[in-house]
Amino acid sequence: MKKQGVSNAFVAASWIALGAGMVGYIVGLVRAEMQLNEKGYYFTILLYGLFAVVSLQKAVRDRMENIKVTDIYYGICWFATLSSIVLLTVGLFNATILPSEKGFYAFAFLLALFGAIAVQKNTRDNMMED
């Protein structure tokens, strides 16, 4: 039985989720009335979170396919993913912005992370087909 590939609709939805999350988050930062160092903090957390979830998705997938992944690397991937979420949460909790803005950043961040995971999964699935 041949393995079914990733549908074009899911690939497109994944890229749209990643783009909407990232662009929305960054546009929100650019337009925000906060100090540059605070904007830098939130931007760095976005980059850290995106890298962490892509790395975690790869490590999880490698383990599922019986490709050797050390326990230390696997643990670091989980730690980085969870710490990016915790750092954003703590930053937003202590921020002096409207609750609606806090929610906007939280949801844009989570959408970007989901999109990054899905894009990485689709990329890997499509590589396996070739």
CA distance 21 to 107: 8
CA distance 3 to 37: 48
Instruction: Give residue-wise pLDDT tens across range 65-87.
Output: 999 999 999 999 999 999 999 99
Go through the chain and tell me how many residues it has. 130
Cα–Cα separations (whole angstroms), residue 57 to 28, 66, 98, 105, 125: 27, 14, 33, 23, 12
CB 97 within 8 A of CB 47: no
CB 87 within 8 A of CB 52: no
Q: The dihedral of CA 97, 100, 106, 109: what is its sign?
A: negative
The conformation of residue 32, written as its DSSP 8-state character, comes to S
Instruction: Give residue-wise pLDDT tens across range 15-69.
Output: 999 999 999 999 999 999 999 999 999 999 999 999 999 999 999 999 999 999 9
CA distance 54 to 110: 13
Six token digits for residue 61: 């997938």
pTM assigned to the model: 0.91
